């Protein structure tokens, strides 16, 4: 008997990747003015820094999801 799994896992995606893609698709399908308001929720920014020997390195602004979690 085959093991049950979710379609996003079969597509080679993580759950976070699936949810991100789904929310972007729904936001793009909205009509104005709801679309403009919803698109503002996609904008984010935070700072990331590498730590070496217990000391924090320079901070780098992270503005895109693709950059998140990458070493700076």
pLDDT value of residue 64: 67
pLDDT value of residue 1: 47
pLDDT value of residue 39: 81
Full pLDDT tens readout for the chain, 72 residues: 456 677 878 888 888 888 888 888 888 898 999 888 888 877 777 788 888 898 988 888 877 666 666 655
Cβ density class 22-56: b for 16+ within 10 Å, e for less: eeeeebeeeeeeeeeebeeeeeeeeebeeeeeeee
């Amino acid at each position: 008997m085959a093991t049950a799994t979710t379609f996003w896992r079969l597509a080679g995606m993580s759950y976070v990747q699936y949810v991100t893609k789904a929310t972007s698709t729904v936001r793009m399908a909205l009509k104005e003015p709801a679309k403009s308001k919803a698109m503002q929720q996609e904008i984010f920014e935070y700072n990331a820094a590498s730590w070496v020997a217990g000391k924090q390195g320079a901070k780098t602004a992270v503005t895109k999801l693709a950059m998140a979690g990458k070493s700076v």
